[in-house]
């Protein structure tokens, strides 16, 4: 059954199929539908998508949400953080108060997803939940002409002139494109319900787990988002599991005694698939490997790449020649757009692996406006 559809939406013959109903997929679908194209979204998770996420929206994310027409509702449903703090190994934290543009809007992921789904439905997008895509349909020249969808005990082939992969980071993107597995970042988080004293966005560092970090974000007076992440891929899922057992779990028991919550983990796309995209397919968000390799923040880039792809497709159309050209130009455009940020983030990630240097940097930030400014720009993507 569809998650939500506009009355009269068709079940066969579509211009664009979007695989995945996360922020990047829905941003793509909304903008394409508003440009007059027929769009169908397949989401393997039943109901409103809820994936592991820090739930914090930077200024870049808020600008994209404003362009999609959903920011006002999210501002009313969420709250603005007054700043953030960074603490190494239990030392006194360094606080940052960057102002409105540098602060984050805190909105639980289900509320964000609901807002984007509603906007997509209003634009005429056909959305099917609980319908996992199992693979791509290829034409005789290798071009992508649709997807195979799991329906009950069988499969249905759904054709489209363009398929957009918004499936997040993971193995299926590389497998479907016939590419080598890319380097991934890793994170795990849980939502805690109960009284808390969390005021700022808190980032905690531990010498044994650098350059990873533990975060504590206040979603509401009675709710906290807490997790641990390794955005640059250091150590892989084994290090994540060790950090969950030896760092995150003891921290939660100590600071939030008696509160229980289930951890959810996920991958972060920090590296593009090492292959050329075939005609008829485009990648957005974590599937395109555009998440920040220093902070792990990915929603702003997910929204931006979804809107970028939609803009280019609306501009150039869906002819065979246009699809072939975009399969070459859009990956290059994405790499160029985020190249400088990735280089800076990768360099600082290497430096942040050195405990003594991190300790010195935090001391410098506490004492020097210039040091405070550098760390602030890194954390807020400004």
Mean local confidence (pLDDT), 4-32? 78
Q: Name residue, tokens 């650098």.
A: 210
Residue 46's pLDDT is what?
86
CATH superfamily of 2-380: FAD/NAD(P)-binding domain (3.50.50.60)
Question: At a CB cut-off of 8 Å and minimum separation 6, what does 168 contact?
Answer: 20, 22, 51, 266, 267, 269, 285, 286, 287
Give the pLDDT confidence of 279-333 residue by residue, as tens digits.
999 999 988 888 887 788 889 999 999 999 999 999 999 999 999 999 989 988 8
**What pLDDT does residue 184 have?**
82
Percent of the chain, pLDDT > 70? Answer: 88
Q: Which of 13-17, 98-102, 103-107, 257-261 has the lowest mean pLDDT?
A: 98-102
Least confident range of 3-12, 166-175, 301-310, 320-329: 3-12
Mean pLDDT of all residues belonging to the chain = 85
Least confident segment among 15-29, 88-102, 160-174, 181-195: 88-102
pLDDT band for 344, please (50, 70, 90 cuts): confident
pLDDT of the residue at 27: 98
Q: What is the DSSP string of 61-79?
A: HHHHHHHHT-HHHHHHHSE
The reported pLDDT for the residue numbered 228 is 94
Query: Which 3 state secondary structure label does DSSP give 87?
Result: strand
213 closest CA partner among 305, 88, 114: 88
Q: Does the N-terminal peptide bond of residue 234 adopt cis geometry, omega within 30 degrees of 0? A: no
Of residues 128 and 346, which shows the higher confidence score? 128
Cβ-based burial of 65 (10 A; exposed 0-12, middle 13-18, buried ≥19): buried
Task: Give helix 23-34 / helix 109-123 axis angle, nearest 10°.
Answer: 20
Q: Please report how many Cα atoms fall inside a 13 Å half-sphere around the Cα of residue 51, on the Cβ side.
A: 20
Backbone angles phi, psi at 355, to 5 degrees: -55, -45
Instruction: Pull the structure tokens for residue 272.
Output: 């593009």
pLDDT given for residue 48 in this prediction = 76
Q: What is the pLDDT of residue 193?
A: 87
Q: Which residues pair with 137 in a beta bridge?
A: 146
Q: For 376-382, what is the mean pLDDT?
A: 56
**pLDDT above 50 (res 6):** no
Maximum Cα–Cα distance for the chain, whole Å? Answer: 64
What is the pLDDT at residue 348? 75
pLDDT digit string (tens) for 192-235?
A: 988 788 999 999 999 999 889 999 999 877 889 999 998 877 77
Please say if the pLDDT value at position 7 is more than 70: no
31-40, 62-71, 164-173: least confidently modelled range: 164-173
Alpha carbon distance 88, 375 (integer Å):
14
Query: pLDDT tens digits, residue range 82-91?
Result: 888 888 888 8
Per-domain boundaries in the chain: 2-380
Mean pLDDT of 271-277: 75
Residue 64: per-residue pLDDT? 96
User: Which sign does the torsion angle of CA 90, 242, 166, 50 carry?
Assistant: negative
Confidence of residue 3 (pLDDT cuts 50, 70, 90): very low
Mean per-residue pLDDT, 188-194: 89
Structure tokens at 362: 């935090």
Least confident interval from 71-80, 226-235, 264-273: 264-273
Name the DSSP class of 320: H
DSSP 181-212: PPPEEEEEEEEEES-----SEEEEE-TTTTT-
Average pLDDT estimate for 147-168? 90
Section 337-352 average pLDDT: 78
Does the pLDDT at position 10 exceed 50? no
pLDDT at 13: 65
For residue 19, is pLDDT > 80? yes
């Amino acid at each position: 059954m569809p998650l939500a559809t506009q009355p009269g939406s068709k079940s066969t013959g579509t211009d664009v199929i979007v695989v995945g109903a996360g922020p990047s997929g829905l941003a793509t679908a909304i903008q394409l539908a508003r440009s007059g194209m027929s769009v169908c979204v397949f989401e393997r998770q039943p109901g409103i998508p809820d994936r592991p996420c820090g739930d914090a929206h930077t200024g870049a994310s808020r600008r994209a949400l404003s362009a999609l027409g959903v920011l006002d509702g999210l501002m009313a449903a969420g709250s603005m953080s007054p700043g953030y703090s960074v603490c190494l190994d239990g030392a006194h934290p360094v606080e940052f108060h960057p102002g409105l543009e540098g602060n984050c809007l805190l909105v639980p992921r289900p509320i964000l997803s609901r807002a984007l789904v509603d906007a997509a439905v209003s634009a005429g997008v056909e959305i099917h939940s609980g319908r996992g895509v199992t693979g791509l349909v290829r034409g005789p020249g290798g071009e992508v002409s649709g997807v195979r969808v799991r329906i009950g005990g069988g499969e249905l082939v759904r054709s489209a002139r363009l398929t957009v992969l918004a499936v997040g980071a993971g193995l299926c993107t590389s497998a479907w494109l016939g590419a080598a597995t890319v380097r991934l970042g890793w994170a795990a988080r849980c939502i805690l319900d109960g009284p808390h004293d969390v005021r700022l966005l808190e980032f905690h560092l531990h010498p044994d787990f650098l350059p990873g970090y533990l975060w504590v974000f206040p979603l509401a007076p009675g709710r906290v988002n807490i997790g641990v992440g390794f955005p640059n891929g250091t150590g892989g899922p084994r290090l994540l599991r060790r950090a969950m057992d030896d760092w995150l779990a003891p921290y939660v028991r100590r600071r939030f005694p008696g509160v229980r919550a289930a951890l959810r983990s996920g991958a972060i796309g920090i590296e593009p698939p090492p292959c050329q995209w075939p005609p008829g397919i485009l990648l957005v968000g974590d599937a395109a490997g555009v998440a920040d390799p220093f902070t792990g923040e990915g929603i702003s880039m997910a929204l931006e790449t979804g809107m970028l792809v939609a803009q280019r497709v609306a501009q150039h159309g869906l002819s065979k020649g246009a699809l072939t050209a975009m399969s070459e130009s859009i990956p290059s455009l994405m790499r160029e757009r985020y190249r400088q940020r990735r280089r800076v983030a990768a360099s600082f990630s290497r430096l942040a692996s050195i405990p003594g240097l991190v300790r010195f940097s935090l001391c410098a930030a506490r004492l020097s406006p210039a040091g405070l400014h550098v760390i602030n720009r890194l954390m807020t993507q400004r």
